Amino acid sequence: MNEIKIEKLNNTSNKYKVGMVSLGCDKNRVDSEIILGKMSNEYEITSDPKIADIIIVNTCGFIESAKQESIDTILEMANYKINYKCKLLIATGCLTQRYGEELGNLIPEIDIMLGVNDYNKINEFITDFIEGNKKALELLNYSDENINEGKRILTTQKESAYIRIAEGCNNFCTYCIIPKIRGKFRSRKMENIINEAKDLSENGVKEIILIAQDTTLYGSDIYEKKSLHLLIKELAKIGGIKWIRVLYCYPEEIYDELIDEIANNNKVVKYLDLPIQHISDKILKLMGRKTSKEDIINKIKKLREKISNIVLRTTFIVGFPQETKEDFNEIIDFLQEYKLDKVGVFPYSQEEDTPAAKMDGQIGDHIKSKRAEELMTIQKDVSEEINKLKIGRLYDILVEGHNGEHYYGRSYEMAPEIDANVLFKSSKSIKNGQFIKVKIVENMDYDLVGVVDYESCK
């Protein structure tokens, strides 16, 4: 191995600068923030990898496009060793957990590689590298028991933060590799989550977003019963938190106590993300989903009956093996009848080491893409119809910034990064993180335009 040296920085802190590139889902983002938190006492954190001595790429390995993005990003950052200041390149996350040895051989510029449960070793490995040029390309023994926790350096808007309440997954959907990468479902202790939320609140966070592979199963392992409703009740007692948002609730696992808590707790925004994925009973069974079309429809009806003005978001996978035109049309009919507020659509990705990848009846990419496009066109019309009904309504908006012409923010109906925004102008200065009353006056394709209701703001 060629000798590698990292020169001390000529700055007041005399610390190496660390840059992070985080890819993939919001659960991966939390991991990235925990990694930065573990490093923040020893290193200076920078958002600009061009001036970083150490670059970390936290990878995603969920589907083929995400894997390729991760590889491309690592290769891009490897060039920073030549063109910029980087002397140490670290790869972490799902892709390294899944393809560690292969990835190390493919990209020898990687100096340190960690799996999804190895982050507590990162400072030790960096020290070994700096002091002795010792690479760490072997993943540590994977543990189904570990959960990454600890101090975080937020990479989101200061007003909102994700809180991961559990790790892993027990669902074993036939198209998904996550249980093999992340391990079995395991809940975090309630007191740890509450303490984390208190720390976030003290640092100005107004909205906490609860995430896991399946949030509705929270507590079923360590407390021997579903306990998400109890967790929400405790989190609502934290003074600085104004909004509690819950994502990734598998419809078959939603239970009455949770519905009641969402309905009656003023801090819980009336918004749920339900990963439905399909509505054809045949495809649901092939996917390994533990539900049916009838059960999904009944749960949606119940949620709308019990929770006033609830907003429902979901995702669909189209082009799954053996999906016929009739199966696909069931999704179209479902969307047109039940008019879900937010819908994401993904063409099926044939992932190795999953049961679905070996199924007969694989569908061509052209058909998958065509079906995805058709479904999104239909949903665009549904969204426009729904948005027209919002004109004249008054919303509390969590302000997130100014784009030079408009302030922008979100109502309770909008989750960060995946949903639209409300745009508005104001004759008065408004700070990020402030809640302000805005009346909707115009709907665009997805964003809404409003005016500040100053009387209501008094």
Q: Is 457 annotated as a binding residue?
A: no
How many CB atoms lie under 10 A from the CB of residue 106?
Answer: 12
Please indicate, yes or no, whether residues 205 and 330 belong to a single structural domain of this protein.
Answer: yes
Q: Is 25 annotated as a binding residue?
A: yes
Q: Is 249 annotated as a binding residue?
A: no
Please indicate, yes or no, whether residues 345 and 399 belong to a single structural domain of this protein.
Answer: no
Please indicate, yes or no, whether residues 306 and 403 belong to a single structural domain of this protein.
Answer: no
CA distance 290 to 359: 19
220 in any annotated domain: yes
Please indicate, yes or no, whether residues 376 and 407 belong to a single structural domain of this protein.
Answer: no
Q: Is 94 annotated as a binding residue?
A: yes
Give the end of a domain, one of 346, 370, 389.
Answer: 389
Please indicate, yes or no, whether residues 171 and 201 belong to a single structural domain of this protein.
Answer: yes
> pLDDT (tens digit, 9 = 90+) per residue, 298-331?
999 999 999 999 999 999 999 999 999 999 999 9
Please indicate, yes or no, whether residues 45 and 165 belong to a single structural domain of this protein.
Answer: no
Give the end of a domain, one of 389, 422, 446.
Answer: 389
Contacts of 365 by beta carbon, 8 Å cutoff, 6+ apart: 347
Please indicate, yes or no, whether residues 201 and 321 belong to a single structural domain of this protein.
Answer: yes
298 in any annotated domain: yes
Predicted local distance difference test score (pLDDT) of residue 143: 59
Please indicate, yes or no, whether residues 246 and 214 belong to a single structural domain of this protein.
Answer: yes
Q: Is 173 annotated as a binding residue?
A: yes
% of the chain residues with pLDDT over 70: 94
Encode the chain (458 residues) as per-residue pLDDT tens digits. 233 333 333 344 568 999 999 998 889 999 999 999 999 989 999 989 999 999 999 999 888 888 899 999 999 999 999 999 999 999 999 999 888 888 888 898 999 998 888 788 889 889 888 887 777 665 555 556 678 888 899 888 789 999 999 999 999 999 999 998 888 999 999 999 999 999 999 999 999 999 999 999 999 999 999 999 999 999 999 999 999 999 999 999 999 999 999 999 999 999 999 999 999 999 999 999 999 999 999 999 999 999 999 999 999 999 999 999 999 999 999 999 999 999 999 999 999 899 999 999 999 999 999 999 999 999 999 999 999 999 999 999 999 999 888 999 999 999 998 999 999 998 888 999 999 999 999 998 779 999 997 665 55
Please indicate, yes or no, whether residues 451 and 333 belong to a single structural domain of this protein.
Answer: no
| CATH number of 198's domain | 3.80.30.20
Please indicate, yes or no, whether residues 256 and 370 belong to a single structural domain of this protein.
Answer: yes
Residue range(s) defining the domain that contains residue 118: 17-131
| CATH number of 101's domain | 3.40.50.12160
Please indicate, yes or no, whether residues 397 and 382 belong to a single structural domain of this protein.
Answer: no
CA distance 397 to 394: 9
* Number of structural domains found in the chain: 3
| CATH number of 429's domain | 2.40.50.140
Predicted local distance difference test score (pLDDT) of residue 2: 32
Please indicate, yes or no, whether residues 258 and 294 belong to a single structural domain of this protein.
Answer: yes
The answer to whether the pTM exceeds 0.75 is: yes
183 in any annotated domain: yes
